[in-house]
Structure 1
């Protein structure tokens, strides 16, 4: 994949191919390992390791900022974060921190994350086929909020590009990497959340922040 990178990059940037066609031409690219490698080729940064490590680094700061948020958003964040008090699972905490981040930035993670029960395969298949960009989460019937999902995957243009990811937060990281790999725009409904990923977590182009993300960053570091 290293040898064909320049050719593949030219194709992505200049031709903007349909995702299904691109997957057919480059099937080996769509694995966790290769997406990490491709992101490294494009940005010179490690994707998975840095995304999750930086999220962990800023967790205490984000929780502090969340606790000071008032109004409906503050109440929603506190309800979202409640399951983390019942579990020490790091993936669970990361997942809910990211959902709380969306709420804090006045965005809705439900526009990107679609959850389905494992007993309803047809509904999941229909939902995935209709997804422009997002994550799907498959859960067992009757699962508790602290239970791990059975499956997490990434979908773009109705094509399931990754599956069997270990957590929703891992899915966020892989989707972020795929946006760079495929030269796509951030989803408009979550533009500030993805700006936070890019400019705060990954420290890419970090001098040009929107006022909303700049304010969050300042409050995190106070």
Structure 2
């Protein structure tokens, strides 16, 4: 079924095409829009993680403790912690929730 979708709509599998289509529809940059939303919600997510800390595995404790130890580039570390905490909070596997893409020289 994925191969059929790839054959019919190859642009769905190309991040540049997805960004262009998002811009065409919304007149906003996808990455900029994502970053703005992340900036807006980071504090609330971290507060939620801390309040519900006891309900999660030790991974959440480790994540929040490592954030507390940071002294440089706090904004980036907070955003990273907010994103890394999502799969723990939602009790989903990280692989299921996020798809990591590696940039290669073949593009």
Instruction: Report which of the two has the higher share of strand.
Output: 1
CA distance in 2 between partners of 1:74 and 1:102 (Å)? 11
Alignment equivalent of 2:6, drawn from 17, 25, 45? 17
Match of 1:76 in 2: 59
For the residue of structure 2 that corresponds to 1:16, the secondary structure is: helix
For the residue of structure 1 that corresponds to 2:56, the secondary structure is: helix
TM (normalized to structure 1)?
A: 0.36
CA distance in 2 between partners of 1:47 and 1:89 (Å)? 24
| Unaligned residue ranges in structure 1 (runs of 5+) | 1-14, 24-28, 114-133, 136-151, 154-162, 165-222
CA distance in 1 between partners of 2:95 and 2:42 (Å)? 21
| CA apart distance, 1:49 | 0.9
2:81 matches 1:96:
yes
Q: Tell me if structure 2 keeps the 8 A contact 1:80–1:100.
A: yes
TM (normalized to structure 2)?
A: 0.64
Summarize the Cα distance change of 1:37–1:63 in structure 2 as closer, same or farther, 3 Å threshold. same
Instruction: Report which of the two has the higher share of helix.
Output: 2
Alignment equivalent of 1:107, drawn from 79, 82, 92? 92
| CA apart distance, 1:31 | 5.8
Matches within 5 A, 1:23-172: 30=14, 32=16, 34-73=17-56, 75-84=58-67, 85-86=69-70, 87-111=72-96, 134-135=99-100, 153=102, 163=103
| CA apart distance, 1:96 | 2.2
Tell me how large the CA RMSD over aligned residues is.
3.2
**Greater RCO structure (CA 8 Å; 6+ sep):** 1
Q: Tell me if structure 2 keeps the 8 A contact 1:81–1:97.
A: no
Q: Tell me if structure 1 keeps the 8 A contact 2:53–2:61.
A: no
| Unaligned residue ranges in structure 2 (runs of 5+) | none
Matches within 5 A, 1:191-202: none
